[in-house]
Amino acid sequence: MKFILAFTVCSAITGFCNNTSTLPTKYDSWAECVGAGGILIQDFSVELEDKINKEKIYISYFCNENHTNETTTDSKSKQSKIQSSYFRS
């Protein structure tokens, strides 16, 4: 079974959270997926430290079993746009 990493970016000030996003990577185990979530949060906090401190942003993540074998080209394109918007300063 493969696992996908899903995450949400939230503001502790407003209480608002963006829609849940997923990464295109499929992980071979639950532990590998959870570890990738930890790395995602660490990278996010280093790259956007000033914005995170100012806006009190945090990430919540979880792993789900992937029940599909294919991702459409359209959804890959949308996901790429979503991901890049989170990591801009």
Helix or strand or coil: residue 15? Answer: coil
pLDDT along the chain (89 residues), means of 10: 94 94 93 95 93 93 82 48 48
- Which of 21, 2, 26 shows the shortest CA–CA distance to 10? 21
What residue ranges do the domains of the chain occupy? 2-86
Q: What is the pLDDT of residue 17?
A: 94
Task: Give one word for 61, left, alpha or beta, with left for phi > 0 and alpha for psi -120 to 50.
Answer: beta
